[in-house]
Structure 1
Amino acid sequence: MRRLMIADDSDVVRKVGMRILSGMGFLVSDAANGLEALARCEAELADILIVDAGMDGALDLIANIRRLPNGKSVRIYYCVIEADLKKMMMGKRAGADDFLLKPFDRKILENVFSGLALAA
């Protein structure tokens, strides 16, 4: 089972995402801010990380994850509210692999993450 972390300052987004993604077979954890997410990843690195672009310290979190041992192997999704090219490029420069548009729902998460839960 692959580990996935949702780092978002919204309780609702984290709860909804956790419910959907755990139902898809992920071992899901969450963090309400960048420092909490980094501390949890230092203890046990997630395979996949969803980082909310609106969260304080989001870009620092991505860069710090990349600096961890095996941090380059984490698949990082930078979660943006709209397709803002400037914000997306900042995420890419920090080390994000891909993007996820908010608000997301079950269909979007299944399209993006189906097949990844059990993949090694």
Structure 2
Amino acid sequence: MPQRILIIEDNKDLAHLLELHLRDLSYDVTLSFEGPKGLAEAESVDYDLIILDLMLPGMDGLEVCRRLRKRPAYTPILMLTSKSSEVDRVQEKPTNGAP
């Protein structure tokens, strides 16, 4: 059974490019383009990895991550961002107990 990856990314070109390459590597990929819909998808299916953009319509990626980390299931989350300033990158400490 292929590993399942959820991509929550509002840039559809980037999302489809990631999907194409991951499918070529035999991953089962699901796309979501908005924060609330991505959160609902992540809560309804057990994914092996979530690729999450920080800037999303409806709910930002940090809030999606916070809500997912309150669940007992632990799915690795890879955060994507186009933000480049140090203040943006170090916005706050992780909420899951990591240093």
The TM-score range, normalised by the shorter chain, is 0.7 to 0.9
Q: After superposition, where does 1:31-110 map in structure 2 within 5 Å?
A: 31-56=32-57, 57-70=60-73, 73-81=74-82, 83-90=84-91, 93-94=94-95
Percent identity over the alignment is 18
For structure 1, list consecutive stretches of 5 or more residues without a partner in the other structure: 98-120
Amino acid at match of 1:16: L
Q: What is the root-mean-square deviation of aligned Cα atoms in Å? A: 2.1
Amino acid at match of 1:63: R
Q: After superposition, where does 1:14-33 map in structure 2 within 5 Å?
A: 14-33=15-34
Aligned length: 94
Distance 1:4 1:91 in 2: 26
* TM-score scaled by length of structure 2: 0.80
1:59·1:90 contact (CA, 8 Å) conserved in 2?
A: no
Shift of 1:91: 6.7
Shift of 1:46: 1.5
* Segment of structure 1 superposing worse, 52-61 or 20-29: 52-61
For structure 2, list consecutive stretches of 5 or more residues without a partner in the other structure: none
Distance 2:33 2:92 in 1: 19
